[in-house]
């Protein structure tokens, strides 16, 4: 039988604890504060006027498809910095079924050594 008290129980992790209900109350208070601060802001914003148009330092606006930052553009710097790591990882992922079997054999070989068969 599930009791109300059991729903509110704190999760003990041995060295710490976690109670999502308390966390949600804290987040709700934070949102309330944000809302109060936001309501103190200026109210002159007008929809469908020049205020809502994109400003690209005076340059003309491109077609929408050209302006969209594509998925492969995101984290370009990160992937560029880890080029060598990606080089190795890409080489491993050959897409060849016989290589898949090879990795299986390699792991099996290591395990055979560990348990003392070989």
| Contacts to other proteins by CB under 8 A | 2, 6-7, 9-11, 13-16, 18, 20-21, 23-24, 64-65, 67-72, 74-75, 78-79, 82, 85-86, 89, 92-93, 95, 97, 99-101, 103-104, 106-108, 110-112, 114-117
Nearest distance in Å: CB 71, other proteins: 3
**Length of the chain, in residues:** 118
**How many C-beta atoms lie closer than 10 Å to residue 13's C-beta?**
8
Nearest distance in Å: CB 81, other proteins: 12
SS3 content of the chain, % helix, strand, coil (to 5): 60, 5, 40
């Amino acid at each position: 039988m599930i009791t109300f008290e059991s729903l509110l129980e704190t999760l003990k992790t041995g060295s710490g604890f976690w109670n999502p209900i308390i966390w949600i109350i804290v987040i709700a208070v934070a949102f309330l504060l944000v809302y109060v601060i936001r309501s103190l802001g200026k109210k002159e914003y007008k929809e469908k006027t020049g205020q809502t148009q994109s400003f690209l330092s005076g340059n003309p606006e491109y077609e929408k498809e050209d302006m969209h930052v594509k998925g492969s553009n995101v984290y370009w710097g990160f992937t560029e910095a880890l080029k060598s790591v990606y080089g190795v990882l890409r080489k491993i992922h050959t897409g060849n079924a016989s290589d898949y079997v090879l990795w299986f054999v390699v792991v099996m070989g290591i395990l055979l050594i560990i348990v003392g068969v070989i």
